[in-house]
Amino acid sequence: MPNTRLIARKGFEKELYTHSEVFGDIRQSPFTIKEASDYLEVAEITVRRWVKEGALKSTKIGRNIVFDADALKDFKKKRNVQS
C-alpha cells in the first residue's frame, strides 16, 4: 500500500488512490488529550471526564493520558450515530 511519502516521491502512478492508500499510515503514534479533544471537537475537560467515566478508552504513559487513533475513530463514529 503506497503511503504519502512514496506517492510524493514517485508521483501519481495511477489516476485514483483510495483514502486508506493515501492516509492509512499517517497517524501511528498515540493521541494526546489535546489532540484527542481537537479531533473529537470537544474541550479537554470533556475528554478527561469521558476517560474518568470509562466511556473513552485510554492508556497512561507515565503521567500522560494517550489514546489509540482507532479507538478515537470508533468513539467518534458511535458518538455521531447517537446524536
> What are the structural domains of the chain?
1-27 (no CATH), 31-83 (1.10.1660.10)
Distances (CA, A) of 54 to 32, 48, 70, 72: 17, 10, 17, 13
For the stretch 11-64, pLDDT in tens is: 566 777 776 766 666 556 789 999 999 999 999 999 999 999 999 999 999 999
Distance, in Å, from the CA atom of 66 to the CA atom of 41, rounded to the nearest integer, reads 16
**Contacts of residue 38, Cβ cutoff 8 Å, sequence gap at least 6:** none
Q: Could you tell me the pTM of the whole model?
A: 0.65
Distance in angstroms (rounded) separating the CA atoms of residues 30 and 52: 18
- Cβ-based neighbour number of residue 33 at 10 Å: 17
